[in-house]
A = this chain, B = another copy of it.
Amino acid sequence: MTEAVRPETGRPSNLDQKIASRLKRDADGLVPAVTQQYDTGEVLMVGWMDDEALHRTLTTGRCTYWSRSRQEYWVKGDTSGHQQWVKSVALDCDGDTVLVKVDQVGAACHTGDRTCFDADVLDSVTGERPEAAGV
């Protein structure tokens, strides 16, 4: 196995070349990773992965992200105990987003909430599909 250095990040990656060739990364070499509870469907959080974080997520059974603020890898749960055990990983149709289904231990959010989307629901108009509205 050859470790390749990614030009966008300057960091080495062991990601399978067949997967790496399908990834469309942003200017920082990252893709957003949506993390979802595998059985309930809850969207838990969105993190960021470079090639090596995706490689580690695919090969260790635990989610690894790239921290944009700290500029380092982090394995979810190593500090908090709130691990994410990987159930499946998929790329989207144009290779610029990852969906990771996991079994989340405890709270996904650093605030202690189950998900990062629990606390700030915005006021919005809702829509109704025409057939549901009886049109």
For A117, the chain B residues whose CB sits under 8 A away are 90-93, 99
CA gap between A86 and B127 in the complex, in Å: 5
Interface residue count for A (Cβ, 8 Å)? 56
Q: Is A9 positioned at the interface, with any CB of B under 8 Å from its CB?
A: no
Q: Which residues of A contact B (CB under 8 A)?
A: 19, 22, 26-27, 32, 34, 36, 40-43, 45-46, 57-62, 83, 85-97, 99, 102-103, 105, 109-111, 113, 116-129, 132
Q: With A58-B124, A61-B126 given, is the CB distance from A40 to B43 under 8 Å?
A: no
- Name the 4 nearest CB pairs between A and B, nearest first: A41-B41, A61-B127, A85-B127, A92-B116
Which listed residue (B32, B103, B120) contacts A91, Cβ 8 A? B120
Are B103 and A120 in touch, CB under 8 angstroms?
no
Of A42, A59, A122, most B-chain CB atoms within 10 Å: A122
